Structure 1
Amino acid sequence: MAAKTKPALILAGRTLAVLLLALGLFVLAGWIGSSVPRNGDWTEPESGIEIMAATNGVHTELVLPLVTPQKDWRREFPASDLEHQDRPYTHISVSWGQRDVFLNTPTWADLKPITVWHAITGSEALMHVSHYVRPAPGENFRPITLRADEYIRLVEAIEAQSLPAEERAKYPGYYSQDVFYETGGSYHVGNTCNQWTGDMLAAAGVKIGLWTPFSGGVMKWVERP
């Protein structure tokens, strides 16, 4: 019995070692990739349209003014889609992620191996939109000032990732002021929620890392208030 068990233990040990090595290399590659700048000559203007890069430590989102001369987000993301529709919302946050993680993983304790596998290999993506009333800058809500043309490019990049209201399904959010929308996009290990945030900022012309699979790879480019 012991003779049969020993090869199995060796195989399990080697498999675990390979998985840990792969994870370590992925983390290292993500940090290196996020340190290579896109739009390296960008400088933040002294005045303009203020947005925010926000994080919960794992997942990032972009916080945008609800209405500006350049864009009225109430058309794409109406408060009528929310449970609480009548609050004086001033901002929205927009983020992107894996469907099962968004809908079926309210806490990390609910994360299942099959969800992780789908996130690695490729699966449907959803857009998460939250509504805020005068969100305050802080460690996890860091302001970025954009020029008008840069904000327009950011808007266009987000719109390109959205489906028309009549073509998309929507799902209840975690709270009374957020909602999920279908995007038609695909999430995988090379195109994570944080990579999406980085790509949107890069489309606007903001200086950001080349590959930002982790939250820290995005937030390290944004000054603390």
Structure 2
Amino acid sequence: MKMVTNETTSWRRVGSVARGVLASFALLLLCYFATGSMFGAIPRATIAAPAAGPDAVTIFIESSAVHTAIIVPKQAAGVDWRDWARPEDLRDPRYAGFPYLAIGWGEAGFFRETPHWRDVRAGTILHAALGSERTMIHVDHLPLPRANGNDVRMVRLSPEAYRRMVAFIQASWRRGGPHYPGYDVYDAFYEAKGRYSALYTCNGWTGDALAAAGLRMGWWTPFPWTVMPWL
């Protein structure tokens, strides 16, 4: 006959509670992804974008597994980004000669502590998901991008629509704030405005920027796959 001690019973209870917590967390994640995907497929009401004519500005939207960014020309439609992302902000100022910028918004800790996917930590993700006032703009200086229909999409905007999108992006940028070295020699981080959370992610910011230009976009866009299908 096997004796069941109080210690054994206690450990069984701990194990049962742990399994319950894990199951609840898994269910919460499932609901989050399902709800985000559902609302990302529902179009929001936007100001219709003016037709893109011969003077249209070409931008690109790039996507990874979890993050989206907007690629803009440094000079177009009366907008000059060179005073916002300066050569001296880079480890190698020569890369400032590239004609495009990839601009993304996100949580500061997640941005700066995860240069590679192998660097991702559960605590970093949880801190960002619960909400953070520390946000940053990440800027890459790039040559002419190539749309591939998959993780890089090309979009043409009228000058008016482009300037509306630019106004949204610049309103998120803490102009005059400090900047920090990027992951490599051709990128940098800048202080931003706004609160990051699981309810408002980097992809939500991208969706809002594109909607400001009048592009058709989902009602809530927390994931890359709630942004890219609209383009």
TM-score, normalising length: structure 2? 0.89
Task: Kindly report which structure 2 residues correspond to 1:46-125, keeping only aligned pairs within 5 A, or say none.
Answer: 47=54, 48-87=56-95, 88-123=97-132, 124-125=134-135
Q: Distance in 1 between matches of 2:87 and 2:217?
A: 31
Moved over 3 A (4+): 39-47
Who is 2:30 aligned against? 24
Who is 1:155 aligned against? 166
- Describe the SS at the equivalent of 2:76: coil
Q: What is the percent sequence identity of the aligned residues? A: 32
Task: Please identify the structure whose Cα radius of gyration is greater.
Answer: 2
Q: Does 1:194 align with 2:203?
A: yes
| Alignment check: 8 A CA contact 2:92 2:186 kept | yes
Who is 1:134 aligned against? 144
Q: Distance in 1 between matches of 2:135 and 2:42?
A: 26
CA displacement at 1:77 relative to structure 2: 1.2
| Alignment check: 8 A CA contact 1:39 1:205 kept | no
Q: Distance in 1 between matches of 2:64 and 2:200?
A: 19
Who is 2:8 aligned against? 2
| Alignment check: 8 A CA contact 1:41 1:207 kept | no
Who is 1:143 aligned against? 154
Q: Does 1:34 align with 2:34?
A: no
Q: CA RMSD in A?
A: 1.7
CA displacement at 1:46 relative to structure 2: 5.8
- Of stretches 36-45 and 156-165 in structure 1, the one that deviates more from structure 2 is 36-45
Q: Which runs of 5+ in 2 are unaligned?
A: 1-6
| Alignment check: 8 A CA contact 2:77 2:159 kept | no
- Describe the SS at the equivalent of 2:190: strand
Q: Distance in 2 between matches of 1:46 and 1:147?
A: 7
| Alignment check: 8 A CA contact 1:93 1:131 kept | yes
Q: Distance in 2 between matches of 1:27 and 1:112?
A: 20
Who is 1:172 aligned against? 181
| Alignment check: 8 A CA contact 1:126 1:182 kept | yes
